[in-house]
């Protein structure tokens, strides 16, 4: 059953969802438009970045509608209508977008085909397993069950962090000096923004419940998703544009006209 909220709590969440829809939609169109501006080999990274924000736009649209249907405003309070707020859209979203986010990061590095395939497969699978293992905990009310699945999902998470910082060290050192700092920062954005999710997962297990915690979690998820997907996607764009410029300058070739 959904919690009773004050109108302000309800409204902040509502506006955070709407903000996320606008941010994801705008980022998607920007990435698709500007995809024509980068070198051939980075077009795939921008296509995937734009798809991640498009998938997120779709899910936030559904989440927004579900939130509106779950509450009715009466006398300054937001009362549950009985139609449950569907939070599971998030897991469905993550199952698609989280592996793709890691693939974006691999693609922007411009590794060899074989290495790209190997790293993208390994990181993509780890990300999918992480999301799948988190789900049984998310839908459980029992603290013990939640801790168990949280712990299991943390194994692939830690493995991903290890791959990003140890497995990809060589690939990052091989980046042109002009973008090495940007690629390394993209990796940090991933790790820092993703850390938000397992922390929030613990909130109900450590007594952070009630309307304020509940609405703070929804706003927090929205902000984390905007950083991890839209802001990260724009960062990937900046790297692709910068690397394309460098490569066009070196080859003496003309930049594409459209």
Interface with its own copies by CB under 8 A: which residues?
Answer: 7, 11, 14-15, 18-19, 21-23, 25-26, 29-30, 32-37, 40, 43-44, 47-48, 50-51, 54-55, 58-59, 62, 73-74, 82-84, 86, 88-89, 91-93, 95-96, 113, 242, 245, 255-258
Token code pair at residue 54? 């498009």
| In the complex, least distance from residue 242 CB atom to its own copies, rounded to whole angstroms | 8
| In the complex, least distance from residue 208 CB atom to its own copies, rounded to whole angstroms | 24
| Closest by CA position to 125, among listed 150, 100, 144 | 100
Phi-psi region of 170 (alpha: psi -120 to 50; beta: other; left: phi over 0): alpha
Cβ atoms 137, 150 nearer than 8 A: yes
Instruction: Give how far Cα 84 sits from Cα of 10, 71, 81, 106, 196, Å.
Output: 14, 9, 8, 38, 24
Instruction: Please enumerate in sequence order all residues whose Cβ is within 8 A of that of 212, keeping only pairs 6 or more positions apart, or say none.
Output: 9
| In the complex, least distance from residue 91 CB atom to its own copies, rounded to whole angstroms | 8
| Closest by CA position to 163, among listed 200, 197, 115, 196 | 115
Give the neighbor-by-neighbor strand order of the sheet with 71-74.
5-6, 77-80, 71-74
Token code pair at residue 134? 């988190």
Angle at which helix 210-225 crosses helix 43-70, to 10 degrees, equals 160
């Amino acid at each position: 059953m959904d919690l009773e909220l004050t109108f302000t709590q309800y409204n902040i969440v509502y506006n955070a969802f709407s903000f996320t829809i606008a941010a994801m939609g705008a980022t998607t169109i920007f990435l698709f438009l500007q995809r024509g501006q980068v070198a051939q080999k980075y077009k795939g990274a921008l296509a995937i970045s734009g798809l991640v924000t498009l998938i997120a736009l779709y899910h936030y649209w559904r989440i927004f509608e579900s939130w509106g249907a779950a509450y009715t405003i009466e006398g300054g309070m937001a009362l549950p209508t009985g139609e449950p707020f569907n939070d599971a859209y998030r897991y469905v979203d993550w199952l698609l977008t989280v592996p793709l986010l890691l693939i974006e990061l691999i693609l922007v590095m411009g590794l060899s085909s074989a290495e790209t395939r190997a790293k993208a497969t390994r990181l993509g699978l780890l990300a999918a397993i992480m999301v799948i293992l988190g789900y049984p905990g998310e839908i459980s009310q029992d603290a013990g069950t939640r801790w168990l699945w949280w712990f299991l999902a943390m194994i692939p998470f830690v493995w991903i962090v290890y791959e990003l910082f140890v497995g990809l060290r060589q690939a990052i050192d091989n980046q042109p000096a002009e973008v090495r700092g940007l690629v390394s920062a993209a990796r940090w954005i991933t790790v820092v923004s993703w850390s938000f999710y397992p922390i929030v997962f613990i909130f109900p297990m450590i007594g952070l419940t009630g309307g304020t915690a509940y609405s703070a979690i929804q706003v927090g998820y929205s902000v984390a998703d905007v950083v991890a997907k839209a802001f990260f996607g724009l960062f990937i764009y900046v790297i692709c544009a910068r690397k394309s410029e460098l490569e066009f300058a070196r080859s003496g070739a003309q930049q594409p006209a459209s």
